Amino acid sequence: MGVIDFYGSSFCLIKSNTNLQQVGLSPRPSCSFGRNQKKLVAMASTIPVEQVNKFPQQLTGDSFIREHLRKLSPYQPILPFEVLSSRLGRKPEDIVKLDANENPYGPPPEVLEALGSITFPYVYPDPESRRLRAALAEDSGLESKYILAGCGADELIDLIMRCVLDPGDKIVDCPPTFTMYEFDAAVNGALVIKVPRREDFSLNVEHITEVVKQEKPKCIFLTSPNNPDGSIIDDKVLLKILELPILVVLDEAYIEFSGIESKMSWVKKYENLIVLRTFSKRAGLAGLRVGYGAFPLSIIEYLWRAKQPYNVSVAAEVSACAALQNPTYLEDVKNALVKERGRLFELLKGFSFLRPFPSHSNFILCEVTSGKDAKKLKEDLAQMGVMIRHYDKKELNGYVRVSVGKPEQTDILIKCLQKLS
Ligand SMILES: Cc1ncc(COP(=O)(O)O)c(C=O)c1O
């Protein structure tokens, strides 16, 4: 890898980390920089557009796209609220949105106040998110030098892969789980080795160990609580996996709802552990995109080098800091959701065609049984203005996932399910 400096001569300087080479090339105006620039601008302005556009007929734009990306299936995100609202013919406030594990209580009031008083929106944000990382250090008890913030945990998943994986490297994924790991691996040209979870959604450690030995994957993505079933990873299991020669990325996006302590501080002890967290769920900031991760010092250095400099916007940083200023609100909202999770679970159990799974998170996975079609159930509920998530993947065919909402949202969902019984 290197840089090609082309100064308009018939030679090209290729800089790499180790040497400087001269390569004979005939100058092409379209790739010239530096001293030739003035001349080229003048040239470009005199060429008629039709001539410039003499693009070889047999070439189409997608021929420039990297081979592995041409085969990529697009990630299927949820519909934006406004689009959903016009499709369903309902006002956004009349939609019961239980399909994306968002926090229906939203952020503490301090967040909107802070957003309204941003003084320098025209200045780029702090590339090191210093204020936020200091606040996170206080919140987590882990020094800020171990913490890096991102545009959602999603950005950090991609950033880790960009830093760790060469094309053709392998990752271990344990489905059913968050599909972003598989998607980002594909974007980064990596191969995914799937080690499915057991029927009770626990990890198959023996199989993981075998795969690590045989296939030598670079990293494994683990989620605790796991999305979509809400199960947690036992410490003993995690310790066993940490003994393997593999980078373990532990995604704790929903940890606050589990009553279990985050493993962020473990990164001081385990050189092969990264822990990811987010403000999307705990602080109701999914729309503002703030995530963070705890990294061993030997790893974080490279993420700093490779990340986009302004990955956390002023609005995102201000919001996250303001949210952390009101821990009582965050705690109250979490308690309300955990309480509602218990009530929702009991109510769902009352339907003969649903088998809900106990969850440590802010959602409940249900198997749709008794001959009822899971996809139709999702569609019928959507017609009534209630959005839930439906799965048709191999590991979860015939399942739906319901996010925990406010009590009044649960009540509407239950009434609709009764109508469909
Ligand atoms: C397990 C898991 N990790 C990460 C994320 C993404 O978090 P963020 O909104 O911070 O990008 C999600 C979002 O649903 C998730 O389910």
What's the confidence (pLDDT) of residue 165? 97
Are 362 and 99 in contact by the 8 Å Cβ rule? The answer is no
Give the confidence band of 28 by pLDDT, cuts at 50, 70, 90.
very low
What's the confidence (pLDDT) of residue 12? 46
What's the confidence (pLDDT) of residue 51? 58
Instruction: Kindly state the helix (H) or strand (E) to which residue 391 belongs, with its residue range.
Output: strand 389-391
Cα 177 to ligand 1 centre (Å): 11
Give the confidence band of 71 by pLDDT, cuts at 50, 70, 90.
confident
What's the confidence (pLDDT) of residue 22? 47
Calculate the dihedral angle through the C-alpha atoms of 120, 123, 125, 127, rounding to the nearest 10 degrees.
-150
pLDDT in tens, 233-262: 999 999 999 999 999 999 999 999 999 999
Is residue 223 within 6 Å of ligand 1 at its C-beta?
yes
> Side chain identity at 326, as an amino acid letter?
N
Antiparallel, parallel or unpaired: β 170-173 and 147-150 = unpaired
Cα 225 to ligand 1 centre (Å): 11
User: Could you tell which of 275, 280, 312, 389 is best to mutate to test the pocket of ligand 1, judged by most ligand atoms within 8 Å of the CB?
Assistant: 280
Give the confidence band of 81 by pLDDT, cuts at 50, 70, 90.
confident
Half-sphere exposure at residue 211, Cβ-oriented, CA atoms within 13 angstroms: 21
What's the confidence (pLDDT) of residue 59? 83
What's the confidence (pLDDT) of residue 75? 80
What's the confidence (pLDDT) of residue 82? 85
What's the confidence (pLDDT) of residue 41? 43
Whether 84 has a pLDDT exceeding 60, the answer reads: yes
Give the confidence band of 17 by pLDDT, cuts at 50, 70, 90.
very low
Residue spans of alpha helices (H) in 100-151: 109-116, 130-140
Give yes or no on whether 70-101+329-420 and 109-325 have one common fold: no
> Side chain identity at 20, as an amino acid letter?
L
Q: Using the atom order of ligand 1, give the atom closest to the CA of residue 101.
A: 14
Give the confidence band of 393 by pLDDT, cuts at 50, 70, 90.
confident
Residue spans of alpha helices (H) in 53-194: 67-70, 81-88, 109-116, 130-140, 152-164, 180-187
Give the confidence band of 195 by pLDDT, cuts at 50, 70, 90.
very high
Phi and psi at residue 249, in whole multiples of 5°?
-105, 110
Of 47-61, 187-201, 268-282, 355-369, the range with the lowest mean pLDDT is 47-61
Q: Measuring from atom 3 of ligand 1, which residue has the nearest CA?
A: 253
> Side chain identity at 131, as an amino acid letter?
R
| Sheet strand arrangement including 11-16 | 2-6, 11-16, 20-24
Whether 228 has a pLDDT exceeding 50, the answer reads: yes
Listed by start position, the domains of the chain span 70-101+329-420, 109-325
Q: What is the CATH number of domain 109-325?
A: 3.40.640.10
Is residue 153 within 6 Å of ligand 1 at its C-beta?
yes
Antiparallel, parallel or unpaired: β 247-251 and 273-278 = parallel
Tell me the sheet residues that pair with 13: 5, 22
Query: Quick one: how many helices (H) and strands (E) in the chain?
Result: 16, 16
Are 205 and 240 in contact by the 8 Å Cβ rule? The answer is yes
Q: What is the CATH number of domain 70-101+329-420?
A: 3.90.1150.10
For all residues of the chain together, what is the average pLDDT? 90
> Side chain identity at 155, as an amino acid letter?
E
Cα–Cα distance between 387 and 412 in angstroms, integer?
11
Residue 405: closest CA among 364, 375, 374: 364
The secondary structure of 253-289 as a DSSP string is: TTGGGTTPPP-GGGGGT-TTEEEEEEHHHHSS-GGG-
For 420, the 3-state DSSP assignment is: coil
pLDDT in tens, 127-183: 999 999 999 999 999 999 999 999 999 999 999 999 999 999 999 999 999 999 999
Whether 33 has a pLDDT exceeding 90, the answer reads: no
Q: Which two structure tokens, joined as six digits, stand for 134?
A: 């200091």
Task: Give residue 354's region: left, alpha or beta (phi > 0; psi -120 to 50).
Answer: beta
Question: How much of the chain exceeds pLDDT 70, in percent?
Answer: 87
Cα–Cα distance between 348 and 352 in angstroms, integer?
9
Give the confidence band of 1 by pLDDT, cuts at 50, 70, 90.
low
Residue 357: closest CA among 102, 376, 349: 349
Is residue 280 within 6 Å of ligand 1 at its C-beta?
yes
CA angle 338, 331, 317 (to 5 degrees): 120
CA distances from 190 to 69, 153, 156, 323, 353 (A): 11, 19, 16, 36, 39
Are 158 and 164 in contact by the 8 Å Cβ rule? The answer is no
Whether 32 has a pLDDT exceeding 70, the answer reads: no
Give the confidence band of 198 by pLDDT, cuts at 50, 70, 90.
very high
Is residue 183 within 6 Å of ligand 1 at its C-beta?
no
Are 377 and 355 in contact by the 8 Å Cβ rule? The answer is no
Give the confidence band of 37 by pLDDT, cuts at 50, 70, 90.
very low
Cα–Cα distance between 122 and 39 in angstroms, integer?
34
Cα–Cα distance between 198 and 409 in angstroms, integer?
32
What's the confidence (pLDDT) of residue 212? 98
What's the confidence (pLDDT) of residue 187? 95
Q: Measuring from atom 2 of ligand 1, which residue has the nearest CA?
A: 253
What's the confidence (pLDDT) of residue 50? 57
